[in-house]
Amino acid sequence: MTQKIQAIVIRSNDRKEKDKNVLLFSLENGKMWATLKGVKSPTAKMKLAQNPFCYGEFVLEDGKAGQIITGFEAIETFHEISEDVDKYFEGTAILEIINSIDFSSKEEMARVFVLTIRSLKTLCFENVLPLYVLDKFLISLFDITGTPLETKRCSCCDTTIFERMFIDYATGELTCINCMKYGSEELAKTTISALKILSSTEFDKLQTLKLAQDSELGLLRVLARNFEARFDKKLKFVGIFS
């Protein structure tokens, strides 16, 4: 059986002397492993298809040990991400997050796929602080997966009048001080402001933002910790700033 899919390469690893396995994230099939035969040969025609971030159309055929990639046409390589250390950190963080998710439905999977491509395009081509993109990606991901961070009201009592905000990582909810539970973390005012602004700003407007200094990093710590609690996963990139 032969099929064509649009997919982005999440990761790759060596297989045998000249082959590589690549983890693809596709709109049609979600995440799946496939093999690139002979791709480590100097004359290999599909070298681009082994690179993380590479987005294209893949032709797959059934093999004895799984899917074999027999054709590839690049749509976008996002090579600029790999050439900038800051963009590379945020880009690989996005791929790590995708690798960690178990999707609950095809609709959720498709929406996350679109979000991923949109985030990488913004990161690669727009004049945006890279951390803004990663923060926005995580905020949008929580919305898609049904665990949005509500910033306009307390998730428990629905009050809209409160100055101090807390996050309960057990539930992923934001609450006022009166509803704050043991173990909740109070958010700094700059973190709250960054969360509110990024929540209401579309990707194509991120380049117009100027958040308080280091607020995007403080917000990332909160978002990453919330992701780990929501999905019961540990993210490697979190250790860089913890």
At residue 48, does pLDDT exceed 90? no
Average pLDDT over residues 52-73: 90
**What average pLDDT is seen over the chain?**
92
Strand partners of residue 59:
4, 71
Percent of the chain with pLDDT over 90: 76
Q: Which CATH number fits domain 2-76: 3.40.50.11290, 2.130.10.10, 2.40.50.140, 3.30.1540.10?
A: 2.40.50.140
196-215 average pLDDT score: 95
Does the pLDDT of residue 209 top 90, yes or no? yes
Q: What confidence tens digit (pLDDT) does each residue in 133-191 have?
A: 999 999 999 999 999 998 889 999 998 888 899 999 999 999 999 999 998 999 999 99
Residue-level pLDDT at 39: 77
Residues 123-135: tens digit of each pLDDT = 999 999 999 999 9
Is 79-240 the same fold as 2-76? no
Q: Which residue has the higher pLDDT, 89 or 242?
A: 89
- Mark 85-103 as b/e (b = at least 16 C-beta within 10 Å): eebbbbbbbbbbbbeebeb
Q: What is the mean pLDDT of residues 60-80?
A: 90
Domain ranges of the chain: 2-76, 79-240
Mention the CATH class of domain 79-240: mainly alpha
The pLDDT of residue 162 is 81
> Residue 240 pLDDT > 80, yes or no?
no
pLDDT over threshold 60, residue 242: no
Looking at residue 241, what is its pLDDT? 59
